[in-house]
Structure 1
Amino acid sequence: MTELGEFLARKSINKAEVSRRTGISQSRLSELALNPSTKLQAKELYLIALAIDIEPGEVLNEVCKHLKLQTD
């Protein structure tokens, strides 16, 4: 499961409702939630955040929490 998938699961988000509100297909939402190699587009993240009434920055922080800057 991806960070987005874990976030949506913790929040008990209904993917069918998110799909309806965002126009993102349920199959695409499932791919984003389950497949770590799938790339989440900024537009998709923003629409998902709006659909679940959460600040986009909060979703971004959760989805990207594993990213770190390289140290020299």
Structure 2
Amino acid sequence: MTKLGYYLAKRSVNKSQIAKRTGLTRARMNELTLTETSKLRAEELYLIALAINVNPCDMLGDICEGLMLVSEG
């Protein structure tokens, strides 16, 4: 499961409802929540955040928590 998948599961969100509200297909929602190699586009994150009534910046921060820049040297 992807970080987005865990994020939505933690909030008991119905992926089918999100798909309908955002215009994303259920197949794309499954890919974004189950396939580690999938790439979440900014537009998708924004629409999903709006669909579940959360601040897109907060959602991005939660999903990307732990990411760090590569140190130089």
Name 1:7's counterpart in structure 2: 7
1:66 Cα shift?
3.1
Structure possessing the higher relative contact order (Cα contacts under 8 Å, 6 or more residues apart): 1
Structure 1: state its 5+ residue gaps.
none
| Segments ≥4 residues shifted beyond 3 Å | none
User: What residue ranges of structure 2 are gaps of 5+ in the alignment?
Assistant: none
User: Once superposed, what is the RMSD of the aligned Cα atoms?
Assistant: 0.8
- Number of matched residues? 72
Q: 1:23 maps to what in 2?
A: 23
* TM-score normalised over the length of structure 2: 0.93
Which protein has the larger Cα radius of gyration, Structure 1 or Structure 2? 2
Percent identity of equivalent pairs: 46
Q: Given the alignment of the two structures, is residue 59 of structure 1 paired with residue 41 of structure 2, yes or no?
A: no
